[in-house]
Amino acid sequence: MSERTTRHSARRRTISVCASPRAHGREYDEFIDEFLHAARNKYPNVLIQFEDFGNHNAFVLLQRYRNEFACFNDDIQGTAAVTVAGILAALRVTMKELCEQRFLFLGAGEAGTGIGSLLVSALVELGGLSEEEARRCCWFVDSQGLVVHSRLERLQAHKVPFAHEFKPLSTLVEAIRELRPTVLIGAS
């Protein structure tokens, strides 16, 4: 069998495995729970990385299992750690304070709000701000515009803590003009 035939066969096998319908709801939850417990039974010190689980599932799974398993979500926590480390390094160079910054995010999904949450923690711990004051430093623009209080009923749960009392703005350019951010983070 040639290398080309072997690659083609392997690709076909992979496609047929992935073509199964995806579980949802209770079946999905039970599958994830069973897998995590089986992995820990087999490997007691296992570290579980949730990768590309989709917006809703990513936050729910991390919240559900973070105190029971050694686990993390790369999009929510990994990207946040690298981004916040970069911001802290840049502030050392510019000799500016973290608490003096106004952060504007383009994108309010897993990565963006994960960065925002870690920034809030850093602003509290390193900047001496209250959590409320720290959240006021973080602004988000999603596909519907600026994340503000007037949109609360339509916002996904992970965006709600970052919704500010402010007039609605439709675009990133409008948000930049109005908010005058010192740090712009693209995470869409």
> For the segment 172-183, what is each residue's pLDDT rounded down to a tens digit?
999 999 999 999
Per the prediction, the chain carries an average pLDDT of 88
pLDDT surpassing 50 at residue 5: no
**pLDDT score at 20:** 66
Cα 48-117-151 angle, rounded to 5 deg = 115
> For the segment 24-33, what is each residue's pLDDT rounded down to a tens digit?
888 888 999 9
| Cα dist from 34 to 19, 27, 39, 70, 90, whole Å | 22, 10, 9, 16, 43
> For the segment 103-129, what is each residue's pLDDT rounded down to a tens digit?
999 999 989 999 999 999 999 999 999
The mean pLDDT of 148-168, rounded to a whole number, is 95
Q: Where are the alpha helices (DSSP H) in the chain?
A: 3-18, 25-42, 55-65, 79-94, 110-125, 131-135, 172-179
| Confidence category of residue 138, pLDDT binned at 50, 70, 90 | very high
> For the segment 143-152, what is each residue's pLDDT rounded down to a tens digit?
999 999 999 9
| Measured distance CA(35)–CA(46) in Å, rounded | 12
Report the predicted TM-score, pTM, of the whole model to 2 decimal places. Answer: 0.78
